[in-house]
């Protein structure tokens, strides 16, 4: 074990970092609005999604009348036909945050999708900078050095902070899931690095997990699993330390309050599910999905393989880690396309890999895994709670690897695990390094930062030029030719929109 000596106090961030954060917020706003901040044009570059962007407004209006359906004309083929009504499976939390608009005349007719996306990505960025400050504070390192600034820049301008900035209902849900996960990871790491989880901290973790379950179920399941396993690990550790094993000990006040919060949110989600589907345990019934009902081959695939199937894992790993399917290799692409057509509804553009958009995080991640395998975690980190949290974060990853569609935005489900372990690796590396400004650390962080920021910017550009939905038919004529053509078309539109 590596001994760490420090107060662990969370220091006030330097003014320079606050200025950098303010600059990042402005850049996020410009990217979400495609550079037309003052014109308030929030639609993506390539397709009109204004109607679908009002789906949560419609949900909010109906909730005020005690209903859980949405306007069929707004949700379109993304709805589910249930007992003569049309349901949207997205969490009701996005409708609830729009309820304050009711005080303004016509407020619930205003598209606030881009604003909601902006708030979410800013919360995530702030939480991650806070986590970075926590690590440097625990190690008694100054937050003014070269390494600190490089990591801060990478956090703000790469990965999920940049690559998902395409204003849409789809992305709003994912960005809020990412924001809640960033808060969860911060609270979890604070407990691990301080070597204590007081009741207040556990309750905050439970509340964040509950809000996430109300927002995006797949992400919420991961946070619920992490929270439950962490509570179990803490209970076991406490009982072992005191040599007192009893039900009363395991269910004391410290455990009872967060467990009650988890149960309360689960009950709320079950109530919503019952109102929508007639079953508290059903989150979405894809046999009633309007898009699938209009495409018989999708229903046949659903019946044959189900919404989640382990047979999809190999192709999903290729999609998320090694996107070779877009390159002109007929022998590989033909196999991929045949298997994709058999197992998946669609494969979405653009291609991407965490190895590039999150190169720095992947490096820290690998360093942490090595330390775990060798049993050389820096104190005060303890293997049991760390492994408990990691196991929970794996749940949404497994869900996405077995899901019936491969979508770019689903990458958000991998970030809780990636970022949590990467922050552990960062702490581990800086704890073992006599001086964080050493040449080795400088070179590693510099290289990872340059690759991450550059790749994320490039992927965002491709994402803005990519349509939602099936991508394989579009790349058959040539990947680079496709984007060159779409770039020229959208550049002309963008130029004309300023006149």
Give the pLDDT confidence score for residue 165 in this predicted structure: 95
Higher-pLDDT residue of 456 and 324 is 456
Name the phi and psi angles at 396, rounded to 5: -65, -30
Give the lowest-confidence range in 11-15, 263-267, 426-430.
11-15
* pLDDT at residue 18 greater than cutoff 70: yes
pLDDT band at 296 (very low <50, low <70, confident <90, very high): confident
pLDDT in tens, 124-146: 999 999 999 999 999 888 777 88
Instruction: Tally Cβ neighbours within 10 Å of residue 369.
Output: 14
Give the pLDDT confidence score for residue 57 in this predicted structure: 93
Give the pLDDT confidence score for residue 360 in this predicted structure: 96
pTM: 0.91
Rg (CA), the chain: 23
* pLDDT at residue 156 greater than cutoff 80: yes
pLDDT in tens, 416-468: 999 999 999 999 998 887 565 577 778 888 999 999 999 999 999 999 888 88
| Residues contacting residue 222 through CB under 8 Å, at least 6 positions apart | 392, 393, 394, 395, 396, 397, 413, 416
Name the phi and psi angles at 305, rounded to 5: -120, -15
Instruction: Tally Cβ neighbours within 10 Å of residue 374.
Output: 8
Give the pLDDT confidence score for residue 7 in this predicted structure: 46
Residue bearing tokens 């490039």 = 458
How big is the CA angle at 180 (ends 313 and 453), to the nearest 5 degrees?
A: 70
Higher-pLDDT residue of 460 and 294 is 460
Question: Using omega within 30 degrees of 0 as the cis cutoff, is the peptide bond preceding 435 cis?
Answer: no
Which tokens sit at 276? 């929508």
């Amino acid at each position: 074990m590596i001994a760490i000596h420090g107060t662990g106090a969370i220091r006030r961030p330097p003014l320079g970092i606050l200025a950098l954060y303010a600059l990042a917020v402005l850049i996020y706003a410009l990217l979400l609005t495609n550079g037309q901040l003052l014109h308030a044009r929030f639609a993506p570059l390539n397709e009109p999604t204004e109607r679908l962007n009002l789906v949560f407004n419609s949900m909010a209006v109906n909730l005020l009348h005690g209903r859980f359906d949405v306007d069929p004309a707004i949700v379109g083929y993304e709805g589910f036909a249930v007992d003569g009504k049309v349901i949207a499976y997205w969490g009701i939390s996005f409708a609830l945050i729009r309820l304050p608009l009711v005080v303004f005349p016509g407020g619930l007719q205003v598209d606030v999708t881009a604003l909601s996306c902006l708030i979410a990505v800013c919360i995530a960025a702030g939480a991650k900078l806070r986590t970075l400050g926590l690590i440097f504070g625990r190690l008694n390192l100054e937050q003014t050095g070269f390494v600190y600034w490089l990591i801060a820049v990478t956090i703000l301008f790469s990965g999920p902070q940049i690559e998902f900035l395409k204003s849409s209902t789809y992305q709003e849900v994912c960005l809020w899931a990412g924001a809640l996960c960033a808060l969860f990871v911060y609270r979890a790491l604070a407990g691990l690095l301080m070597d204590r989880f007081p009741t207040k901290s556990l309750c905050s973790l439970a509340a964040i997990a509950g809000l996430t379950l109300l927002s995006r179920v797949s992400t919420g399941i991961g946070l619920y699993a992490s929270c439950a396993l962490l509570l179990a690990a803490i209970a076991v550790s406490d009982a072992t330390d005191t040599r007192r094993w009893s039900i009363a000990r395991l269910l004391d006040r410290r455990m009872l309050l967060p467990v009650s919060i988890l149960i309360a949110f689960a009950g709320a989600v079950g109530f919503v599910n019952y109102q929508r589907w007639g079953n508290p345990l059903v989150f979405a019934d894809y046999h009633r999905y309007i898009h699938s009902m209009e495409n018989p081959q999708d229903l046949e695939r659903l019946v044959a393989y189900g919404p989640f199937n382990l047979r999809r894992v190999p192709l999903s790993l290729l999609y998320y880690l090694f996107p070779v399917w877009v390159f002109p290799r007929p022998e590989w692409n033909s196999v991929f396309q045949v298997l994709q057509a058999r197992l998946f509804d669609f494969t979405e553009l653009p291609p991407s890999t965490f190895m590039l958009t999150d190169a720095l995080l992947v490096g820290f991640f690998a360093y942490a895994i090595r330390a775990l395998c060798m049993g050389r975690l820096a104190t005060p980190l303890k293997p049991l709670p760390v492994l408990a949290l990691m196991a929970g974060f794996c749940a949404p990853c497994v869900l996405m690897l077995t899901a019936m569609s491969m979508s770019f935005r689903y990458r958000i489900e991998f970030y809780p695990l990636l970022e949590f372990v990467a922050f552990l690796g960062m702490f581990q590396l800086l704890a073992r390094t006599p001086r964080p400004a050493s040449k080795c650390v400088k070179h590693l962080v510099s290289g990872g930062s340059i690759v991450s920021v550059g790749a994320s910017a490039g992927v965002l550009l491709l994402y803005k030029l990519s349509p939602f939905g099936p991508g394989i038919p579009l790349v058959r004529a040539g990947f680079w030719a496709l984007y060159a053509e779409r770039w020229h078309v959208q550049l002309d539109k963008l130029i004309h929109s300023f006149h």
